[in-house]
Amino acid sequence: MTTSVASAAPARDLGWGSRVFAAEAGIPWLVGAILIALGVLAPVVTLMWHASGGSFEHWQHLFDHVLPQAFLNTTLLLAGVAILVTALGVGAAWLITAYQFPGRSILSWALLLPLAVPTYIVAFAYLDILHPIGPVQSFIRELLGYTSPRQFRLPDLRSLPGAIVLLGFVLYPYVYLSTRIMFATQAASLLEAARILGETRRGVFFRVALPMARPAIAIGVSLALLEALNDIGASEFLGVQTLTVSVYTTWVTRNDLAGAAQIALAMLFVVAFLVLLERRGRKRQRYASNLRARPVQPLALQGSRAWVASALGWAPVLLGFVAPAIYLGSESIKHLALAGSVSDQLLASAWNTLYVALVATFFTVLCGLVVAWAARAVRHSEQPTLARFCARISTSGYAIPGTVLAIGLLTPLIALDGLLATLWGTLTNTEPSLWLMGSMGALVCAYVIRFLAISVGGIESGLSRIPPSLEQAARLLGETPAGTLRRVHLPLLRPAIGAAGLLVFVDAMKELPATLLLRPAGFETLATWLYAEAARGTYEEGAVAALAIVLAGLLPVVLLARSQLKPAY
């Protein structure tokens, strides 16, 4: 009987009374989604308030001495990274899609491996690898017969070009992933028609395949640039004064919150431009064709051409992942061989990292479930637009750089701390204390806002695969939206929730800017431990911390490779 009701449900209207019941039952979820959206908006509003509170002298000093150089460096960095990630990502995607050569099946997922290495870890590794007395330059001097770094020295990595190259070789997988999927789903008939009309293979790529893939390229580039804008460790290690570094130094070094807020406000304009770029690309993401979407058949390369293609494909993997990973592994082995074990402080940092990441993952997935289910529960009511608007606002935190988010959260967290301390002191007659800023609560709040987009997106994707007939059948049988979620949808959502939780967990482990600014005194994570070691110029235990972060980052890469890059033929 239940099966027949479920199968018939899509064809019948729930009726006015059922829609009213669904709307009323979904109101608590909508209220929760509104509160979460307001929490995401709070740091942006606070940031504007702080920036407007700065004196004219603050603004004048920033415009004269800070913003011009920082904005120029940031613009040049983003432009260089955009060019490099586009060339590497699109080139790799077309190479894998259009050609067959030795190692292609392994390379198709290996090209994602640089995503496992945070940008600041790559800078940390290459600063030592390419040091004047490091292994690379020492080996080159030995080959050339030189004995001193003064006789032969490579260009200094601590420069804007060095930052562009390092960030480009780490962030290109964003473009590769989106473009590879677009190339793989393009109809082969379109490309074959161009060939029949006399177009060369190069012309097919530039005049047919590439224009259809432009929306995917725009999305991948915008994501890569958001990550480059959020970077603080690599830019500071390499001596590039970007807007993000300027925010950090203005707040921490000069103790100037208003000035830091004003620089952060300038960063938001850059973020808004990148988000508009992504939205524009998403609007044009679809194209129409009445041809059967037969996948592209790769052309088998032979002889030297096959090995050249293989070498070109493996080059970004070797530079973006293999070389840093080998360095970190060898340095970790050397340190463990000499010291016998890692220090207690590093172990404590590892435990702090795991603990705060697990707590943040739990609350991020929980908030994502509330936001996603609110949009589902009220879709038959008069508030579907409001629910969708809350979902969009809730996912905007991923576009806010960690330094900007930390400054915007400072005042709301202090105010909430004061309220909680007053209430607790009144109830228990004890001295008030800091609940959030004095613990890891501030970090959890920042992580939830920053990574809520991953949770909402993953759960919404899972919900979209569940047929509405199951939910309608449950409601016709008298189940509430909460009961439907608990007894019908949650069991079916376990894979989506697990994947979203894994991605949030690993991103929380790697997060550096917000952690540096909001951690309580004496609280270290693996990322902040590595940052401190690099700042002191001591690389021994920093390599162990970096290797642990990289190994954790491999988990979502494997997940992406299995779910997104399955062969289409």
pLDDT tens-digit readout, 37-86: 998 988 888 888 877 765 656 667 667 777 788 888 998 999 999 999 99
Q: Give the pLDDT of residue 262.
A: 77
Whether this model's pTM surpasses 0.95: no
Closest CA to 161 of 86, 243, 249, 73: 73
DSSP 80-135: HHHHHHHHHHHHHHHHHHHEE-TTHHHHHHHTTGGGGS-HHHHHHHHHHHTSTTSH
Give pLDDT, residue 552. 82
Report CA Rg, the chain. 26
d(CA 483, CA 493): 14
What percent of the chain stands above pLDDT 70? 84
Rounded CA gap, 101 and 110, in Å?
15
Where is mean pLDDT largest: 174-183, 264-273, 379-388, 428-437?
174-183
User: Would you say residue 451 has pLDDT above 70?
Assistant: yes
Task: Give how far Cα 126 sits from Cα of 123, 140, 236, 381, 398, Å.
Answer: 5, 16, 14, 56, 28
- Of 25-29, 61-65, 185-189, the poorest mean pLDDT is in 185-189
Query: From residue 154, how far is each of 160, 272, 333 by CA, in Å?
Result: 15, 38, 28
What is the reported pLDDT for 358?
A: 92
Q: Which of 398, 393, 406 is nearest to 271 (CA)?
A: 398
Does 380 or 488 have the greater pLDDT score? Answer: 488
Distance CA(48)–CA(411), nearest Å, equals 12
Of 119, 96, 111, 121, nearest to 224 by C-alpha is: 119
- Inter-axis angle of helices 344-377 and 526-536, nearest 10: 130
Cross-strand partners of 299: 99
Q: Which amino acid is at 509?
A: M
Dihedral-angle region of residue 478 (phi above 0 means left; psi in -120 to 50 means alpha; beta otherwise): left
pLDDT digits (tens, 9 = 90+) for 355-365: 999 999 999 99
Mean pLDDT over each residue of the chain, to the nearest integer: 80
Give the pLDDT band (50/70/90) at residue 444. Answer: very high
CA distances from 391 to 200, 437, 454 (A): 46, 27, 12
206 vs 310, higher pLDDT: 310
Nearest in space to 92 (alpha carbons), one of 313, 320, 317: 313
Q: Domains in the chain, start-ordered, CATH in brackets?
A: 1-50+344-525 (1.10.3720.10), 54-288 (1.10.3720.10)
State the DSSP H helix or E strand holding residue 300, giving kind and residue range, or none if neither: strand 299-300
- Local structure of residue 197 (DSSP, 8 states): T
Task: Return d(Cα 39, Cα 511) in angstroms, integer.
Answer: 20
Whether 470 and 7 have beta carbons less than 8 Å apart is answered as: no
Residue 279: left if φ>0, alpha if ψ -120 to 50, beta else—which one?
A: alpha
